[in-house]
């Protein structure tokens, strides 16, 4: 990994890549491409992530206590970090939006037949 991580989330993508969210002071998203044996920074977040869940559409729901966002692993501009929490006009738009009420002590789970719980 590009930095030491503690209490991070790991997401396995269907194309042999692993993504590591949270657990580091730089708030990076590391990507390990198993097929090419390459490890590097895939993006950054503006704050630490508490939970990450792979969605059926291939995007990743990332939560923390007061903010939620969507990370799109296939975004055209990986340097811009996260892509849209709510897609407005383009999948390349990136921003975080504050939640109505702060959350704590939560987990997310995704099932193919239902939305994220």
Q: pTM for this one? A: 0.63
What pLDDT score does 29 carry?
A: 85
115 in a structural domain: no
Instruction: Give CA–CA dist 52/63, Å, rounded.
Output: 6
105 in a structural domain: no
Residue 31's domain spans which residues? 9-98
Q: Tokens at residue 31, please?
A: 């990507």
Q: What total of structural domains would you count in the chain?
A: 1
80 in a structural domain: yes
108 in a structural domain: no
2 in a structural domain: no
79 in a structural domain: yes
What pLDDT score does 33 carry?
A: 92
117 in a structural domain: no
What pLDDT score does 88 carry?
A: 32
- Model confidence at 90, in pLDDT bands (50, 70, 90)? very low
By three-state DSSP, how is residue 59 classified? coil
Residues in the chain: 117
Instruction: Give CA–CA dist 87/18, Å, rounded.
Output: 24
- 19-65: per-residue pLDDT in tens? 888 788 888 888 899 999 999 888 877 777 778 888 888 888 887 76
The β-bridge partners of 9 are 21
106 in a structural domain: no
């Amino acid at each position: 990994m590009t930095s030491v991580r503690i209490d991070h989330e790991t997401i396995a993508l269907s194309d042999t890549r692993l993504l590591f969210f949270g657990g580091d002071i730089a708030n990076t998203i590391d990507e390990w491409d198993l097929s090419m044996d390459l490890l590097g920074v895939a993006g950054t977040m503006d704050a630490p992530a508490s939970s990450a869940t792979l969605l059926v559409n291939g995007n990743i729901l990332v939560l923390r206590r007061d903010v939620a966002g969507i990370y799109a692993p296939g975004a055209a501009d990986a340097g811009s970090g996260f892509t849209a929490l709510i897609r407005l006009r383009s999948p390349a738009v990136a921003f975080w939006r504050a939640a109505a009420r702060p959350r704590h002590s939560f987990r997310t789970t995704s099932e193919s037949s239902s939305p994220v719980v």
